[in-house]
C-alpha cells in the first residue's frame, strides 16, 4: 500500500468515473484499475462495485475511503508542517465560505500568496452545515460561517464585525436617492432572493416579518451569480451584505444601506481544534488574528 493508491481511491470518489479519475491522477485507466485491485487484494476486501462503469463503493470501501482521507490529510499536514518549520508554507489551503458572506477572502489570500508563493488555494461556497461537517472531517482547513450554535469545544473561531445589509440595484433601471432605505420601502420592489433555508435569506425574512411585512420575491435562486446577473439585467433588486464590494463589479451597480438591517448571527473564521490540524490553517488563522489586533 502506498500514498498514490489512496490518492487514486479518493480521485475515483470525487469524479465517480474511472477515466476521469485516471486523467486527474495523470495515469492511464488500466493503471488506475490495476492499482486499485492491488489495494483490494492487500486489504482482502472488495472496495469498488464494478460494472460497465463505476457503480459506487462497497460498504467496506466507504469505510476504507474515510481512512484514506484521514491518512492523506495527515500526509499533507506532515509536508506542510515540515515546510512551516523551514519558514515556508506550501500546499493547498482549503477554505469554505457561506454564500453572501460579508467577508472578502481575496485580501487574505493575496497576503498569504505574496509571503508564500508556493501556496495554493481551494475556495468553496458551502452551507454552514457543510462547512462544519467538512472541517470536522478534515476536508476543509478553514471556514467562514455563522457562529450561531458553534461548538466551542470542537472549533476555534474569530468573530467578524456585524454584517449589515444594503439593497443592490442597477442605476440604469432604479433610483432611490441618497438616504438609507426602510424595509417598508422595499416591499413593493421586484426582489430577487436566495432560496429559503439559506442563512442570509433567513435574516432577510426575519427583518421583514418582524415589521409585519411579507415579501413576494420575483426571483428565488440558490446561485449567487444568477442573482447578480438578474440585478445587473434590471429584472430585480436584491438585499446583499453591505461593504461586500458587490457594487464594484460593474459601473452601474449601487449598494444602498437599509435602516436597522443586520444578519441574525455573526460570521467568523472557524478552524477545527482537534489534531491533525494543518499548518496552513494555523498560519492563516494567526495572520487574520494579527490583522484584527493591528486594526
Distance (Å, whole) CA 63 – CA 53: 21
Say whether 271 sits in a helix, a strand or coil. Answer: strand
Task: Kindly indicate the confidence band of residue 258, based on its pLDDT and cuts at 50, 70 and 90.
Answer: very high
Q: Using alpha carbons, list the distances in angstroms from residue 87 to 84, 99, 105, 271, 280.
A: 5, 34, 23, 21, 12
Residues 238, 191 contacting (CB under 8 angstroms): yes
Residues 159, 270 contacting (CB under 8 angstroms): no
Most confident segment among 65-74, 181-190, 239-248: 181-190
Does 210 have pLDDT greater than 70? Answer: yes
Which runs of consecutive H residues, i.e. helices, occur in 169-232?
Answer: 183-186, 199-209, 224-232
Does 160 have pLDDT greater than 90? Answer: no
Does 286 have pLDDT greater than 80? Answer: yes
Does 74 have pLDDT greater than 80? Answer: no
What pLDDT, on a 0 to 100 scale, did the predictor assign at position 75? 81
Does 13 have pLDDT greater than 70? Answer: yes
Does 295 have pLDDT greater than 70? Answer: no
Angle between helices 3-15 and 29-43 (to 10 degrees): 110
Residues 164, 262 contacting (CB under 8 angstroms): yes
What pLDDT, on a 0 to 100 scale, did the predictor assign at position 244? 78
Which three cell numbers, joined as nine digits, stand for 237?
A: 433588486
**Per-residue pLDDT tens for 114-128?**
888 888 899 998 888
Give the mean pLDDT of 208-222: 94
Does 208 have pLDDT greater than 80? Answer: yes
Say whether 5 sits in a helix, a strand or coil. Answer: helix
Amino acid at each position: 500500500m502506498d500514498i498514490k493508491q489512496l490518492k487514486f481511491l479518493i480521485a475515483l470518489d470525487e469524479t465517480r468515473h474511472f477515466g476521469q479519475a485516471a486523467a486527474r491522477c495523470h495515469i492511464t485507466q488500466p493503471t488506475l484499475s490495476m492499482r486499485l485491485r492491488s489495494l483490494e487484494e492487500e486489504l482482502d476486501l472488495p472496495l469498488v462495485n464494478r460494472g460497465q462503469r463505476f457503480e459506487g463503493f462497497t460498504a467496506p470501501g466507504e469505510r476504507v475511503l474515510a481512512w484514506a482521507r484521514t491518512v492523506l490529510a495527515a500526509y499533507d499536514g506532515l509536508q506542510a508542517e515540515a515546510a512551516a518549520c523551514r519558514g515556508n508554507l506550501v500546499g493547498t489551503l482549503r477554505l469554505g465560505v457561506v454564500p453572501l458572506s460579508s467577508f472578502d477572502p481575496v485580501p487574505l489570500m493575496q497576503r498569504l500568496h505574496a509571503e508564500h508563493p508556493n501556496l495554493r488555494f481551494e475556495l468553496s461556497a458551502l452551507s454552514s452545515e457543510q462547512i462544519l461537517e467538512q472541517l470536522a472531517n478534515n476536508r476543509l482547513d478553514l471556514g467562514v460561517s455563522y457562529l450561531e450554535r458553534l461548538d466551542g469545544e470542537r472549533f476555534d473561531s474569530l468573530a467578524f464585525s456585524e454584517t449589515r445589509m444594503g439593497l443592490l440595484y442597477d442605476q440604469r433601471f432604479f433610483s432611490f436617492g441618497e438616504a438609507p432605505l426602510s424595509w417598508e420601502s422595499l416591499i413593493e420592489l421586484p426582489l430577487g432572493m436566495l432560496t429559503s433555508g439559506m442563512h442570509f435569506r433567513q435574516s432577510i425574512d426575519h427583518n421583514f416579518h418582524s415589521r409585519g411585512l411579507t415579501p413576494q420575491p420575483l426571483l428565488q435562486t440558490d446561485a449567487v451569480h444568477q442573482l447578480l446577473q438578474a440585478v445587473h439585467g434590471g429584472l430585480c433588486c436584491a438585499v446583499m451584505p453591505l461593504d461586500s464590494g458587490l457594487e464594484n463589479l460593474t459601473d452601474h451597480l449601487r449598494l444602498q444601506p437599509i435602516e436597522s438591517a443586520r444578519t441574525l448571527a455573526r460570521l467568523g473564521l472557524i478552524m477545527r481544534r482537534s489534531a491533525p490540524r494543518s499548518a496552513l490553517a494555523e498560519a492563516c488563522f494567526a495572520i487574520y488574528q494579527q490583522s484584527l489586533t493591528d486594526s
